[in-house]
Each structure stands twice: as structure tokens, then as C-alpha cells.
């Protein structure tokens, strides 16, 4: 499985594109494009590789991660997969934009498929296991691509940092539980692909993350 990271919007959010090199079947995680220029950049990338986007996955429904979920879903005929526990946030995307001072209107996002702990999504021979990792939002999810030794954690865990818990739906106790009792049970060599900034590994975060004791 191949993975590329495109970084979009003023929050420097990481949008991940996964695909199988032979079939070109693809999954997009957190399409965060804010404007037409960013959407063109995304489309150019997809078209240059002739990818066939099958699914849109959302780690959570904050504005910077879900802004173009509906755009990608409609353009590429791909269902939106997310947690129903973030449904309220998805309905309030425009209000989230307003809260941060942006003037554009966004269509609300609703999940076509409600993901739950232990669900397994397939991308050809790759199995992507859904983990519920709440705390940054109620419906926060991580996606563990076991066969490739990768986990996409959204804003739950960062390189030597952790996700904010001061936004609506945030809960510090839950976030710590998600990190320590879920993500940290993955193999140490698992590559952690974060919603913002650089990547890390489970082992490095266990050893060096200053927010986790």
C-alpha cells in the first residue's frame, strides 16, 4: 500500500491518500481542503496517479479535517465513513468556521457509514482496523493499517504532543485513556501518522512524549 500526505488549510492539516499500486483503488483520510485552489491540487494528485477513490474516512469532524469530505464524496462517488458520535460536529461545520473567523459557508457532513471499534475496512489486500480513540472529540477514531504497520490517529496523538481537549466534545481523561490504553498497545515500531505535523512511532512516543506519564 502506498501513502501520500498532502497538507491543507491555515491549520496545516494532513490529508492522507492511501492506494494500491496495482488496482489504483484508494482511500482518502480527512480531506481538509478549504478552497478551490486546494481542491484542484487534490484532484490533480488523484488524477495524475489515476486513483479510484473508494472511501472517505474521517478521524473526526472538526472543520480542518472534514471541510471537503462532501466534495470528495460527491465528486468521486465514495461513501463517508465516520463515527456517529461526531454527528453533531458534522452538522455545525459552518459554525465551526465562523468560530475561527472564516467567512465561507460549508455544507454539513454526515456519515454514510457509522464506524465502530473493531470494524475492518479493506483496501484490496490491506486491512484497516477501526479504533475508537475519543478525547479530542467524542467520535474520534484511529485507523490501524496492520499489514503496513501504520496508524492514522487524527488529532489524538502528535509527535511529542497530544490533542487539544478544550474544544467542544473534548475530554482530557478520555484522551489519555485512548493514548495509553489503546494506541500504546500497538506494536512499538508502528508508524504514527498524525493529523498535523510530522510522523512518529508508538515506541518513540512511549519513551519521549512529555505529556504522558
- 183-212 residues near Zn ion, rule: CB under 5 A: none
Q: Is 132 in the site for Zn ion (CB under 5 A)?
A: no
Q: Which is nearer to Zn ion, 54 or 85 (CB)?
A: 85
| Residue 83 DSSP SS3 | coil
Q: Which is nearer to Zn ion, 46 or 141 (CB)?
A: 141
- 62 Cβ neighbours under 8 A, 6+ residues apart: 89, 96, 137, 155, 167
Q: Which is nearer to Zn ion, 46 or 106 (CB)?
A: 106
Cα→Cα distances 172→99, 138, 143, Å: 22, 11, 21
Q: Which is nearer to Zn ion, 62 or 70 (CB)?
A: 62
Q: Which is nearer to Zn ion, 20 or 139 (CB)?
A: 139
Q: Which residue is nearest to Zn ion (CB)?
A: 62
Per the document, the length of the chain is 213
Site string for Zn ion, 31-70 (x = CB under 5 A): -------------------------------x--------
What is d(CA 151, CA 127) in angstroms, rounded to the nearest whole number? 12
Distance in Å, CB of 8 to Zn ion, minimum: 14
42 CB burial (10 A radius; 0-12, 13-18, 19+):
buried
Distance in Å, CB of 2 to Zn ion, minimum: 25
What is d(CA 155, CA 135) in angstroms, rounded to the nearest whole number? 9
- Binder of Zn ion out of 71, 155, 156, 193 (CB under 5 A): 155
Q: Which residues here bind Zn ion, judged by CB under 5 A?
A: 62, 155
Amino acid at each position: 500500500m502506498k501513502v501520500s500526505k498532502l497538507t491543507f488549510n491555515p491549520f496545516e492539516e494532513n490529508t492522507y491518500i492511501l492506494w494500491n499500486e496495482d488496482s489504483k483503488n484508494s482511500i482518502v483520510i480527512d480531506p481538509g481542503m478549504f478552497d478551490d485552489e486546494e481542491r484542484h491540487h487534490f484532484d490533480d494528485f488523484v488524477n495524475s496517479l489515476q486513483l479510484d477513490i473508494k472511501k472517505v474516512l474521517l478521524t473526526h469532524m472538526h472543520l480542518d479535517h472534514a471541510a471537503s469530505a462532501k466534495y470528495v464524496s460527491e465528486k468521486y462517488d465514495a461513501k463517508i465513513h465516520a463515527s456517529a458520535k461526531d454527528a453533531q460536529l458534522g452538522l455545525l461545520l459552518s459554525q465551526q468556521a465562523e468560530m475561527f473567523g472564516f467567512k465561507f459557508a460549508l455544507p454539513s457532513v454526515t456519515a454514510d457509514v457509522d464506524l465502530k471499534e473493531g470494524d475492518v475496512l479493506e483496501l484490496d489486500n490491506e486491512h484497516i482496523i477501526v479504533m475508537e480513540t475519543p478525547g479530542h472529540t467524542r467520535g474520534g477514531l484511529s485507523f490501524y493499517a496492520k499489514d503496513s504497520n501504520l496508524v492514522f490517529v487524527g488529532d489524538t496523538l502528535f509527535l511529542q504532543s497530544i490533542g487539544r481537549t478544550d474544544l467542544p466534545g473534548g475530554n482530557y481523561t478520555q484522551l489519555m485513556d485512548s493514548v495509553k490504553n489503546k494506541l500504546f498497545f500497538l506494536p512499538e515500531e508502528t508508524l504514527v501518522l498524525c493529523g498535523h505535523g510530522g510522523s512518529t512511532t508508538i515506541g518513540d512516543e512511549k519513551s519521549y512524549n512529555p505529556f504522558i506519564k
